[in-house]
Amino acid sequence: MTHPFAPYIQILGKGKRGSRNLTQEEAEQSMSMILRGEVEPVQVGAFLMLMRVKEETAAEMAGFALASRHSLKIPTDFPSVELDWASYAGKRRQLPWHVLSALLLASHGIKVMMHGMQITSDERVYTPAALAAMGIKTADSFTQAGQQLQQCNFSYMSLNTMNPNLQHFIDLKNTLGLRSPMHSVVRMLNPASAPTSIMGIFHPGYDETHQGAAQLMGANNLAVFKGEGGEPERNPDTDCKVHLVIDGEMLIETWPAEFSSRHMKDETMDVLRLAQFWRGEIEDEYAQASVLSTAAIALRAMGRAANSDEAKQQAQRMWQDRTRDCWGA
């Protein structure tokens, strides 16, 4: 008897003439089966690698993301979140300054839910290490995340805490040797169903795919751009093309570089500098531009500014008036 999941592999693997893309409904159904454990391991590997070779469409990404979101067990009394922040890439050249961008918005009353991977790496600095330097604990449950959001308008949860199965599929990269669609899908999770999401990509073309997927999922507000190291962090040394969805309308804006020459790689990557910069103990022109312009992109995506200049002015005022009640670090 043919396995119930086999038709989905057949759709993708019948060759150049016989294969086709999955519809959004088929993508959601197939991923739901995978997450419920109804699929054999060999089928999961085949399915993910067939998707990897052809690359996922916006409809497929939307279906996968919806199935993944539905797999999360979120309390019914979870507080409303205004901004979803996906942070999965880790940093190698510059510190994760975007963490301060998120905290800046949170310090002005915007509830920010951040999610990513909790990895200890000699090569990259991941968000949990940056948060620890700011004296912020990662949430070990949705209940704790809700409490943190109520107290300080910010919480971070690791993918493994939200759903270990999703983390498992990310970890398959070590076995398969290639990234899978799940690396993109988790960025679309938006676990608290916030009205606005911000995410970074590294590989060209995925900004358009994320933008299209978000619209198919009914997202009203989104910002996705090629971030520094793949994180949702503006590199102020270069022009930045931001793919937006604002009130359901898809837009593309180019934010010009803020410096005429590039800054050197941060050789020390000392996360303690994040807290020092937040407290005003040290100055760093790159960090200043990165933190404020990243916050500005989020404000633009939320519809709080009519253009990039207005968004950057708002972010500047926020920085000057930031409170440190929750993050004295």
Per-residue pLDDT of the chain (329 residues; tens, 9 = 90+): 889 999 999 999 998 888 999 999 999 999 999 999 999 999 999 999 999 999 999 999 999 999 999 999 999 999 999 999 999 999 999 999 999 999 999 999 999 999 999 776 668 999 999 999 999 999 999 999 999 999 999 999 999 999 999 999 999 988 988 888 999 999 999 999 999 999 999 888 889 999 999 999 998 999 999 999 999 999 999 999 999 999 999 999 999 999 999 999 999 999 999 999 999 999 999 999 999 999 999 999 999 999 999 999 999 999 999 876 676 55
- Domains of the chain from N-terminus onward: 6-70 (1.20.970.10), 83-320 (3.40.1030.10)
Predicted pLDDT at 328:
55
Predicted pLDDT at 274:
97
Q: Residue 21 has which token pair?
A: 């893309």
Predicted pLDDT at 299:
98
Q: What span, in angstroms and rounded, lies between the C-alpha atoms of 43 and 242?
A: 36
Q: Residue 228 has which token pair?
A: 């520094």
Q: What span, in angstroms and rounded, lies between the C-alpha atoms of 291 and 286?
A: 9
Predicted pLDDT at 329:
52
Predicted pLDDT at 327:
63
Predicted pLDDT at 143:
97
